[in-house]
Structure 1
């Protein structure tokens, strides 16, 4: 075809030609006649290229009509960032024939199913039977002439496109339960298989494919279609198709639906399905928008296993590069995030170690200061006790009874041996209390000082306790001061006594520990 012929084409025809040659690789000289026979409809021309050119009066009649408006958006919810102008999506070579895959409005999981009262249901039973009969007839008519439902979908009031009454007698379920019912019915009809259908709604499948950067294979079936059973057994469940779908390198997710269910019916309208069985490949197209999911391939009608694998492989290969770039970017971001998390974790661990060390230092410093304070308090208390004890000794010395003279015949003569080895030889009056003897022993050093004070008062708040006891060695007898009594009654006319220090159990334990540490060192 000469340049003059191409220059005579309109803008829309040149755009269709460029899209067709990009997808098929045909030369313009071969592509222009086929596009003219297809009324410049790229979809029909591509189908003829893959399926073989044959008479298709339905599609050609539709194409001969004035170009119908694009499918209206769902009334309540559409995919955000979706381009309104389909020609804008043809600017990229990869997505020139890709249509955006919108979400569908489905029944919420927690929405209760309305059931009319029994009496009303009984009254309206004849009308319901007539309505179901007419609906079944219309579905049969639509199966024989598949372009009519599509034509009705395009020309009907857009406000009615989002809703479809359940006229099949199937119970309306939530998306997840509907998918589980489809999988169960599929296994009941065709037995065990290797097709990993997703047990989620269509919208969840789209989100999973976008999140995981995988291709979503949507399979729509109509049990009323004669070719469905043969296509499933001979093509979909063929070993080479199942092997291709389950190959991890192909990154394929599979979602299936029965068009008798509301969700699958809406999906078929959104994907512009005109012939069953139907399969479509959907993938995230980042060159359209950051959230766009586009239909990159359609397989309508019966196909052989090899042809289906070829089409799937072609669709995946032509859209693999953008996904690989996103995967690489995500991997770099994840590696950077992991490195940052490891650095933050190491910093937190180091910070925790520093905090623990600082806490231990603070505790050790507090313990040291507390021990020093306690030692200072003990020393101060001990110094005060020694001062009070010295004052008490001086005070008690003033009140000691003088030693009896030679004229006292009943005087008791006592010899007391001190721990230092010195001996105290003293006489006591027979009626002297045993405490008098203890006081003499306690105040012995003060008694030796001739310059001792004589006007000492009792120390305020001091309660004196003797830190020794007097014992008789042979036979051993203890003369406790707390027992009271006179010297004559306790000791008799005379005796030799020993001073035995009283050691507390705590002091004894501390002494044993100190001795043990000394031996260990």
Structure 2
């Protein structure tokens, strides 16, 4: 057995469900069918019932579903209950399952069949003649129902596809009546998913039932059995199951007088999720086998149990008046309603716990985000402080380097000037003694300082500049030597003239005029 589909226990459970649904007893054959469909229970059951067991199912349905019409209340071809109902079972009994069970539905032991009497045998021959007479009409009616159901389904699918195509092309209902093309509607038709095989059969059953018995009926769900069971669980209601056998003698009377009566329809719609199926269809035949129906009309009240099982709470077989059916259903609600209350309380507790967890998770996430935000700001602040400190340190280093470079440049400049001053002082030579060829020059500085020196009258004006430079009083400032009376500037054009030629012999008084930049 393929254990990869969910483990040994899950595989054994699926095998037991498959056997209970299909009625197949050979475990090896069942295992091969399940493995061929990847242990998908729905597809395996559908394939087994529709393909491998089609002819066998049809034969069984003819033998088991068409009771001998001996009397309106008795069918000798099927086991018959004296009361027509199964007493409600406790949920603990119904939900009890074990690994050795191979049943999908938990049942009570059934009473043995009641042997027919002489009156029943006499009625049997008359019933056979009636069946032969009405057989063509039954065949034609069944064919019409199937054709109308298929046509209705085809129109529904085609309409969905057309609506989706028009919506994709931008063609839809327009708002407003003005010309020139109005606005497209904001909510476009969306493509509806193709229903499952069980849902298709449910739709066909509902259409056929309405055509036969009118629109006043229970609110049958257009869903497969498992989908309807899931909806009842989610809505905290029991699932009311009706298995429809059109050829049974009691079916028309039960549907018209009981099932479609307004009190029963309203009571079922308000208190139950209602699901019906034709036993001639695949899913109806599967439920006929699973619920072990013995006669028709057949109704059952079920609910979801543990381990993918269903608990059979009540079954009603044979014709029942509206009052009797309502009484049975009311008793089920009273005796088994505690289970729904417990389910609702458990669900509310789960919802509260989930909401509490979500709120705690939201608070934790908010606190985590706040901590992350604070950490981010702290890191950003630390990075900013570090950047500012690094920038300040860099600026300080740059200032220190600039000061060092400026000091070095100033020192180099001062050294150069000192060197130049010494060179110029050496170039002047010794001061000559007083004589007729000696010129006495007085130099006045801007700060009031006066310096005097003797030069040869043949010395150039440049020698006076060299004398001023050798003193070092002006630094690197640019200057000119100027005489007052008459005012005359001894600039660059007179540097090579002798003192005599420049009119400064035998004595001269000059002042230093610092040039502005």
TM-score normalized by structure 2?
0.47
Structure having greater relative contact order (Cα 8 Å, sep ≥ 6): 2
TM-score (norm 1): 0.46
